[in-house]
Structure 1
Amino acid sequence: MLHFSVKDMDAMHHLYRINLINSCSGYKSANLIGTKSSKGISNVAIFSSVTHMGSDPALLGFFLRPTTVIRNTYDNIKETGYFTINHVHESILEDAHHTSAKYDSAISEFDVTHLEEDYKNGFSAPFVKHSPVQMAMTYVEEYPIKENGTVLLVGAIKDLYIQDNLLENDGFINLSEAKVVSINGLDGYALPKLKARLEYQRPKDLSSIKI
């Protein structure tokens, strides 16, 4: 098995290190976050850091890189308090990836890709049309990470939209049926396939085991 020490990592070319560390944590979710500025300019950008933070209340968080440079998604959320989270599926993969390009805040990524903005029930931030799982989010809180200058932004799910055939009887969303992709590192995309659902686990009876 290959081994890299802290000393080894410190000596690496920065691009090699970026690829290595971004991929060593495992597969990550692929989501498009939609926002709209106070001037009415829409924005959509891909994120691989959206994570579940709690079910009641329903909270999700995601990490933003240091805000020392322009971050349109962050700025729009702070201005308006609203954003959407939309799962990336196989058929929009290349357009979704292109939203990682750094466009000026006056340019909407919807205008330079084939992604389509959609609006539901008067919510001000744009959804990504045809995304199989879409969430209307409101800003809750943010936490600066002092070690590297990133920000953990927390949002509450206000509305949840799910493609008809994905929801199972117990509330489980079967994402593999929608060909939702995941991200490996920075630029690797994978198409997961559900293998099994396992029952809730409880401790085994250890009375017959010698300790």
Structure 2
Amino acid sequence: MSQEKQITKQHLGSMESRYRARFINSLTGFKSANLVGTVDQQGNPNLAIVSSVVHIGSNPPLIGFINRPNSVERHTLENILATKSFTLNSIDEDIAALAHQTSARYPKNQSEFQAVGLTPYTDNDFIAPFVLESGLKIALTLKEHHIIKANDTELIIGEVEQVRVPSDAIQPDGYLDVESMDLVTISGLDSYHVTQRLYRLDYAKPDKALEPLSVSGEKTEWKVNQSTMD
């Protein structure tokens, strides 16, 4: 590893804006890659890639994401606030480039689905469109909307209404094996990655040695050098 470099708040403030954006966006490492599907009140679909999706809670099941400041037209945000509905759709290797293209600023009357070549899918139970090509599809209704005063970004929190996922990806203990679906992650603003699982680990307790688990949640033997856990 090369020599450590210290970058201060003053250094950050003096950086060219796009350079700073790329640098700061890379600091948090790998992030999940998702497509947000929405529809306006006239039924026009919209699709946008996000890398800020976070787990909020399991009971009730809540998922959130950060929307950029509403200083210009934000079709995704406008649609969610109007219809109270949106979907989150996974991105795999086959559609990563198409998903990235949805970040382009298309006019409101232009469907990103059509523009990039992805397929909107709806059913009678939910108004917002899914991405047919996605392996993991989640339908959510808007529960909370918060403006973050520090930078005017907006936190959208949705409650999970339904999940569509390959049945063989769901393990006996409830673990969802997302790696089996070839999902990609994002680092920074534009770098896409595939993953490789190291191991699953048993529930950690102060007086109990860590034990590895199989993908299905069963106790198994260590297959890595345990010195990495020291």
TM-score by length of 1: 0.94
Contact 2:126 2:139 in 1 (8 A): yes
Which of 17, 22, 28 pairs up with 1:19? 22
CA-atom RMSD, angstroms? 1.0
- The alpha-carbon deviation at position 121 of structure 1 amounts to 4.2
For 1:181 and 1:14, the matched residues in 2 are separated by 27
Q: 1:155 aligns with which of 150, 155, 158?
A: 158
Identity %: 39
Q: 1:181 aligns to what?
A: 184
Report the CA distance between 1:163 and its aligned residue: 1.4
Q: Is 1:53 matched with 2:49?
A: no
- Give, as a single letter, the amino acid of the residue that structure 1 aligns with 2:192: Y
Shift of 1:63: 0.4
Note the C-alpha offset of 1:13: 1.4
Query: What does 1:1-211 correspond to in 2, within 5 Å?
Result: 1-204=4-207
Partner amino acid for 2:79?
N
* Residues in 1 aligned to 2:16 and 2:65: alpha-carbon distance in whole angstroms: 27
Shift of 1:70: 0.5
Question: Equivalent residue of 2:200, what SS?
Answer: coil
Q: Is the 8 A contact 2:45 2:111 kept in 1?
A: yes
Whichever residue aligns with residue 180 of structure 1, its letter is L
Following TM superposition, by how much is the alpha carbon of 1:10 offset from its aligned partner in structure 2, in angstroms? Answer: 1.0
Give unpaired runs (5+ residues) of structure 2: 209-230
Cα distance in 1 for residues equivalent to 2:59 and 2:167: 24
| Cα distance in 2 between the residues matched to 1:195 and 1:120 | 38
State the AA in 1 paired with 2:150: E
- In structure 1, stretches of 5+ residues that fail to align are 206-211
Q: Deviations over 1:148-199 (max 9, x none)?
A: 0101111000001111221111111111111101100000011112221001
1:85 is displaced (CA, Å) by 0.5
Q: TM-score, normalised by structure 2?
A: 0.87
For residue 113 of structure 2, give the secondary structure of its aligned residue in structure 1. helix
- Aligned-partner Cα distance in 1 for 2:116–2:190: 18
Aligned partners of 2:98 and 2:23: how far apart in 1?
Answer: 25
* Separation in structure 1 between the aligned mates of residue 134 and residue 176 of structure 2, nearest angstrom: 14
